Amino acid sequence: MDFEGKCIIFSAPSGAGKTTIVRHLLSKSFNLAFSISAASRNKRDYEIDGKDYYFLNVNEFKSKIENEEFLEWEEVYKNNFYGTLKSEIKRIWAEGKHVIFDVDVIGGINLKEIFGKKALSIFVMPPSIDELEERLIKRNTESQESLKRRIGKAREEIQYSSEFDYILVNDNLEKACKEAELTLTSFLSNNKLVSQ
């Protein structure tokens, strides 16, 4: 694959606010296009297939893995796959835009490895695990069991934060969005990071 544009990778534990920050950046004039991930989980009521995710069943996902259609993929939970389709990156670069990713932590590390200096990887850090749990409870999309699983996973994921180019603490959403804008501006203009 010819790597033409740049990549901005956002990763975080579930509930840290990465999707909200990514949506904010997409609303600004950074010439970005969102990389739509493929997922084998069930679609939530508010989600749109082909806009939020490409929803595939487990067999379709596994078939695409076998056909090497993914740039990276991961089984996040049992039979719950997420991945980045190669065709998605080609589509965005063909439009002359930079790619912005909203991916899980291991996916973010894998993408940074693939794209190297062409990518800026940002880890969105929640202010605390307690605050993260509070946000997930307010979301009202989790059972007690899945909430417990997500919090456990978040504790693990935070340990990988040092593998990212930039750690963005989201203790105030407006401030975090501004900081993300500054970091992105710096990366896209001269490929150097603003100091953390």
Is 109 a residue whose pLDDT tops 80?
Answer: yes
Give the mean pLDDT of 177-192.
87
Residue-level pLDDT at 138: 82
pTM for the model: 0.85
Lowest mean pLDDT among 74-88, 120-134, 135-149: 135-149
Give the mean pLDDT of 182-194.
77
Residue-level pLDDT at 145: 87
The single-letter code of the amino acid at 23 is: R
List the domain boundaries for the chain.
7-187
Q: Which fold has domain 7-187?
A: Rossmann fold (3.40.50)
Q: For the segment 46-77, what is each residue's pLDDT rounded down to a tens digit?
A: 899 999 899 999 999 999 999 999 999 988 87
Give the mean pLDDT of 145-162.
90
Q: What are the b/e assignments for 91-129, b being 16+ CB within 10 Å?
A: ebbeeebbbbbbbbbbbbbbbbebbeeebbbbbbbbeee
CA–CA separation, 185 and 179 (whole Å): 10
